[in-house]
Amino acid sequence: MDTTLQDPLVGQVLDGRYRVDARIAVGGMATVYRAVDTRLDRVLALKVMHPALAADASFVERFIREAKSVARLAHPNVVQVFDQGTDRAYVYLAMEYVSGCTLRDVLRERGALQPRAALDILEPVLAALGAAHRAGFVHRDMKPENVLIGDDGRVKVADFGLVRAVDTVTHTTGAVLGTVSYLAPEQIEQGTADPRVDVYACGVVLYEMLTGAKPYDGGSPAQVLYRHLHEDVPPPSAAVPGMPYELDGLVASATARAPQDRPHDAVALLALTRRARGALTAEQLDAVPPRALAAEHDNAEDRTSVIPRALTVPRPLPVDGDGGDGREHEGSGEDGAAADGVHRTRRLEPPSPAAAPRRRPAVRRGPLAIVAAVLLVLGAGTGVWYINSGQFTKVPPLLEKTEAQARDRLEEAGLEVGTVRRAHSDTVERGAVIDTDPGPGARIRGNDAVSLTVSDGPAFVELPDLAGYRLDKARSVLRQEGLEPGMVTRAFSEDVPEGFVVSTDPATGTRMRAGAAVALTVSKGRPVEVPDVTGEDLEDAKTALEEAGLKVRIATDQVTSEHDKGQVARQSPGEGRRVAEGDTVTLTLSKGPEMVEVPDVVGDSVDDARRKLEGAGFEVEEDRGLLGLFGDTVRSQSVEGGEPAPKGSRITLKIR
């Protein structure tokens, strides 16, 4: 049955402009419709807040303010906000419509993705979040439902703004906003949210793309929240054997339970992601994952929910007699929504302990049996000690950790710190780990050493003085200094010869980041003003140009002109143009003027005669004398009719 037929908004026109055509999706905070902007005749998505939230005036006020801010966040991987408004009880956002599907649809259909496909989706998501983080926004509800994949393959992040506005309200009332499977520990415990909560959620999404399942499952959302607080996200290789350790390290770095151990924002995580991709072979990137066994799941954990923070603080495990059976205390309908349509929160309790096995009746054992059992235990213990003494362990993920944190992690893992070297990095903050040897996730014997490469931050170079260098030499010096030659501009110089550097931008002595480009201004030589040589004989023209420091080239073709044959008809560059000393001026010689037959106008009126002669390309001059002051008839013409004359020459008419 088409449930959209029961939606009261379908078929209506909101705000006299947006015609609602169909319902696309229903979330915990709003319903999304496909609509048509009747003014601009374009399809868009209309997000309409649930009436229960729209009734809160302070919430609506903050929602509008945040929507305006997010509308200024222009990024190709962010779903754009076009408009915001209210109509009766409806508060809405008009947004870009993306024809396609969500990442959740892809995961339900395909399960785990190939690493290349997972990274192809993650990178534009991080680019969008990075732009938001640098603009001062935090998404707070990253999940596969909010990753849209268009029919053209473009990836866009949705639901910017609404989640921030909701969090602004719920934070002050002691509640946490989010989707339980993707909430960072600090969101659950303190309700705080900075860019690192988005980093955490992206790590969970990456895990889900690589394995086809979420890292935590539980009988209720409360149990999932409890595991976020008390368990590390497992490495994807635990679910998909053979998964490269670079991807294990990437997930571990993004989902570290302590926020200070994660990349500080999505830009930093994007740099780690690209580094991990670069370390993988084509075979590793295109490895076909097993079909996910957990493609079906409870939608209740995918809904954006408002969870009272008082109920998210872990409670002690129940003891006998305290009634702590782990069951929920509030009725809920399908997908965690009550019958009245308002999403209910669930009381967070630690996972209920597995049912204890029934005790078997005690069996009396004789002294010999007890001694044998003790000896067996001692023998087994000795074997375990012997095996563990040569046991391998894995190098923990240390990338972007401070050197002190890395040392602590290695000590906890029973490993030694080897050589510590320093290197510059444009993406990793000063004092943080750039690389390890062996790399994260590598198998290593206990007590072995791990070498660290620690960032010295971006490398800075002092721009040398390049004035007076030839262009090719200046470029070579820049590359030797770790800089890149940039745009070259040519300019005249009275002092610097042609082809040599006049100046740089930025100026000499500027401290620049390694790899930055330097613009060069190169001399065109001393400026020379081109003299006018048109109409002159060729030899005279060449002498004038060469004395000015210019070279002369003669064009192969000649043209007809008003000048005599052999004289200069045209020059390029023309008179008054500034060129460099030694530049070439091209001269085009004249074939002489074009000869045209002169019309016979004797006996014609002055007006008719002028019209005929000018139409043939001649200039006309009237000679009236004393007797022709008031006359209007041509008595004679300076060139007789039918005779040839240079086109453009002057014909004099005598008037009587």
Q: Where are the domains of the chain?
A: 3-96, 100-310, 392-454, 460-521, 527-592, 595-655
- For the domain made up of 527-592, the CATH class stated in words is alpha beta
Alpha-carbon gap, residue 431 to 164, rounded angstroms: 32
Reported CATH class of domain 595-655: alpha beta
Per-residue CA distances from 263 to 130, 312, 383, 467, 501 (Å): 12, 25, 42, 43, 43
Counted residue by residue, the chain has a size of 656
User: Are the beta carbons of 63 and 165 closer than 8 angstroms?
Assistant: yes
Q: Mean pLDDT across the stretch 260-275?
A: 93
The b/e string for 375-386 (b: 16+ C-beta within 10 A; e otherwise) is: eeeeeeeeeeee
232: Cα separation from own chain's centroid: 30
Q: What is the spatial distance between Cα 246 and Cα 115, in angstroms, rounded to a whole number?
A: 11
* Integer Cα distance of 347 and 363 in angstroms: 43
pLDDT at 65: 67
- Identify which of 130-134, 186-190, 237-241, 604-608 has the greatest average pLDDT: 604-608
Residue 494 vs residue 167, higher pLDDT: 494
Q: Do the domains 3-96 and 527-592 sit in the same CATH topology, yes or no?
A: no
* Percent residues over pLDDT 90 in the chain: 35
Reduce the DSSP state of residue 554 to 3 states and report it: strand
pLDDT of residue 124: 94
- Could you count the other beta carbons within 10 Å of the beta carbon of residue 205? 26
Is residue 172 scored above 80 in pLDDT?
A: no
Q: Can you spell out the DSSP letters for 382-441?
A: HHHHHHHHT-EEEPPP-TT-BHHHHHHHHHHTT-EEEEEEEE--SSS-TTBEEEEESPTT
Residue 227: the pLDDT is 85
* Residue 605 to residue 609: CA distance in whole angstroms: 6
pLDDT, residue 163, reads 44
Residue 383: predicted pLDDT: 37
CB 537 within 8 A of CB 592: no
**pLDDT of res. 291:** 56
**Element of type H or E holding 373:** helix 367-389
- The answer for residues whose C-beta is within 8 angstroms of residue 444's C-beta and 6 or more apart is 392, 393, 394, 395, 415, 438, 450
- The confidence score (pLDDT) of residue 370 equals 37
Q: Which of 261-270, 295-304, 491-500 has the lowest mean pLDDT?
A: 295-304
**What mean pLDDT is predicted for residues 589-598?**
90
Whether 174 has a pLDDT exceeding 70, the answer reads: no
Of 498 and 56, more confident: 498
| Per-residue pLDDT at 273 exceeds 90 | yes
pLDDT recorded at residue 483: 84
> C-alpha angle with apex 157: 312 to 201, nearest 5 degrees?
30
> What pLDDT sits at residue 427?
66
User: Cα–Cα distance between 101 and 646 in angstroms, integer?
Assistant: 78
Catalytic residue IDs:
141
pLDDT of residue 147: 95
Looking at mean pLDDT, say which of 387-401, 474-488, 533-547 comes out highest: 533-547
Q: What is the pLDDT at residue 325?
A: 37
Q: Is the pLDDT of residue 414 over 50?
A: yes
- What is the pLDDT of the chain when averaged over all its residues? 79
CATH for the stretch 100-310: 1.10.510.10
Query: What pLDDT shows up at residue 290?
Result: 66
Fold category of 460-521 in CATH: Trypsin Inhibitor V; Chain A (3.30.10)
CATH top-level class of 392-454: alpha beta
* Higher local confidence (pLDDT), 456 or 102: 102
Q: Which CATH superfamily is domain 3-96 in?
A: Phosphorylase Kinase; domain 1 (3.30.200.20)
| Model confidence band, residue 367 (pLDDT cutoffs 50, 70, 90) | very low
Task: Specify the pLDDT at position 611.
Answer: 94
Query: Average pLDDT, stretch 319-339?
Result: 34
What is the distance between the alpha carbons of residues 416 and 396, in angstroms, rounded to a whole number? 12
> What whole-number distance in Å separates Cα of residue 494 and Cα of residue 286?
61
pLDDT band at 535 (very low <50, low <70, confident <90, very high): very high
Task: Give per-residue burial for 393-413: e unless 16+ CB within 10 Å, then b.
Answer: ebbbbbbbbbbebbbebbeee
- Per mean pLDDT, which range of 211-220, 405-414, 520-529, 532-541 is the poorest? 211-220
Does position 167 have pLDDT exceeding 70, yes or no? no
Residue that wins the pLDDT comparison between 412 and 70: 412
- Is the confidence at residue 347, as pLDDT, over 50? no
What is the average per-residue pLDDT within 198-218?
A: 92
> Distance of alpha carbon 395 from its chain centroid, rounded?
32
